[in-house]
Structure 1
Amino acid sequence: MKIALLGYGKMGKTIEQIALERGHAIILKVGKNDKNYDLTSADVAIDFSIPDAAVENITRCFEASVPIICGTTGWLDHFEEMVSLCHQKKGAFIYASNFSLGVNLYFELNKKLAQMLKPLDTYAVAIEEIHHLQKLDAPSGTAITLAEDIIANSDTTNWFLKDTTDTIATNGIPITAKREPEVPGTHTVQYTSQVDTIEIKHTAHNRNGFALGAIVAAEWLQNKTGVYTMKDVLGL
């Protein structure tokens, strides 16, 4: 594949390394200040940019008929708009809050655990996420996905960021967001009762898992149109 990298920070550089190892070519690298770029020779674009740039990048891919893989979080107020545009332009689009193959298996485990505990009212659920200091959004998109999947599979109706002035719903799922040096991403879902604690946890050791998942998704998306998820890619 000929890949355009939209966003050339740490993730972009890791994607480049793994893409080259898998026999692909990087034909375009777009930094945060690059506005005039040509996508026409790309087979696929992979976007790990910043929230303010993501919508424009996705739109330009649809306009150029280039399939787009997007791992940027923090822009989802415009998600349905991008889905509609994808269908209108007969484009191809995969968004994931986390492209790690392990995390996407973890998402499915999280849903199953929520379903199993739904009949019990003795457990309180909470989520903690830890990321590197450069991460712009809090809570992480992965933590939000975990919370939304719990909500969809339990009687819980909302989530809130803990230790802020946000008082949307103090009876919802509290999400604690921590920022520490050199942490690629750690997510913990914890159910606590008076007698025990049930916990599932995913710890990323480096960025390679995120990059590999994005490239696998890009390979899978070739010659397709429509909006897909990592569940489609993994056949889950």
Structure 2
Amino acid sequence: MAPKVLVILTSHGQLGNTGHPTGWFLPELAHPYDEFVSAGFEIVFSSPQGGLAPLDPKSIEMFKSDESSVNFLNNHKSLWEQTDKLSNYLGKADEFAAVFVPGGHGPMFDLAIDKTSQKVIAEFAEKGKVVSAVCHGPAALVGVELSGGEHLLKGKQVTGFSNAEEDQMKLSEAMPFMLETRLNEVSEGKFVKADEPWGVKVVVDGKVITGQNPASAKGVGEAIVKAVNGG
């Protein structure tokens, strides 16, 4: 039976009070998706509200020359326009090998505080499944506590979109919190990042796999496949 990956997409489509749209970021799903398909994985798409998971239109423009992103955009719309409701997957971690959260700014506003998402991710972690996220996707991990009350990321090396990258995007003031700062707090000082902003950084600590930014998405997909296959 093919390993199954549960993808959790944001349902949030507004960038704070800026009036601009947001959502999930195209290459951060497209690149791992290609890795999962190549490995023969089954992929299930979910979001807190179900139905349409908003795609950040900026990511379409920014990655219009990226073959993987263009292919995913043109050929797989139903995957994010008809997501299952995340609550349907409570108590079903045993059916899956991994959970994966793509970034985009959307997760900062909903997945960071969504109790269902936190519970699903905690269940995956406690069942020994791979827990993975890229860029702003690790926002979904900042509030996850295990059944014993310990934080999922306590003492674990982790990465995510850095404060410098957020500053360069000029979006720090629109964020409900700074992801690097929060990840460093909950991991008790274990946040790591590439030597330069926008550099590739993939971190594997046990079954927790995180990537820093869009450039890290392919590597995260590769790391998930390797971990699921026992590498």
TM normalised by structure 1 equals: 0.42
Q: Pick the structure with greater CA Rg.
A: 1
